[in-house]
């Protein structure tokens, strides 16, 4: 399986583990943003831990308030990565062979550049007010 899929899987699992820890600690334990700590500016990922903790509580309004871009992008990436991991797992157990998601390197390159551009624009926009 592609190393990027494993990496994204680890990031997703780790993110929700941190959100669970944040939730269980009553907000006392979290992941500080280095950019915010040093400059006072919010990066595109600022609020993601609080957003995931709000999702664990079932509070979609608070999750949207903390980081709407990651709230939308996260499930899309999570579904794609989850499907790839499921397809790989079922195939390795020799149960069933599901079609894999695939795209050309050019499409993957444009998709990555588009997401990075969206995050940069969002990062700038959230610091304008």
The pLDDT confidence band at residue 1, using thresholds 50, 70 and 90, is low
Q: What's the whole-number mean pLDDT along residues 113-127?
A: 94
d(CA 44, CA 36): 11
Structure confidence by residue, pLDDT tens digits, 37-94: 899 999 999 988 888 888 888 999 999 999 999 999 988 988 888 888 888 889 988 8
| Residue whose C-alpha is closest to residue 124's, from 43, 61, 56 | 43
> CA angle, corner 54, sides to 59 and 9, nearest 5?
125
Q: Does the model's pTM come out above 0.85? A: no
Domain ranges of the chain: 3-125
């Amino acid at each position: 399986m592609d190393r990027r899929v494993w990496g994204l899987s680890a990031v997703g699992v780790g993110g929700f583990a941190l959100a669970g820890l944040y939730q269980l600690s009553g907000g006392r334990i979290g992941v500080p943003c280095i950019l915010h700590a040093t400059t006072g500016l919010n990066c595109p990922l600022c609020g993601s831990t609080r957003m995931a903790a709000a999702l664990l509580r079932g509070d979609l309004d608070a999750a949207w308030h903390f980081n709407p871009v990651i709230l939308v992008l996260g499930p899309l990436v999570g579904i794609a990565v989850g499907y790839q991991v499921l397809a790989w797992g079922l195939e390795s157990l020799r149960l069933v062979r599901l079609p894999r998601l695939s795209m050309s390197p050019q499409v993957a390159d444009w998709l990555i550049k588009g997401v990075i551009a969206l995050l940069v624009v969002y990062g700038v926009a959230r610091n304008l007010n």
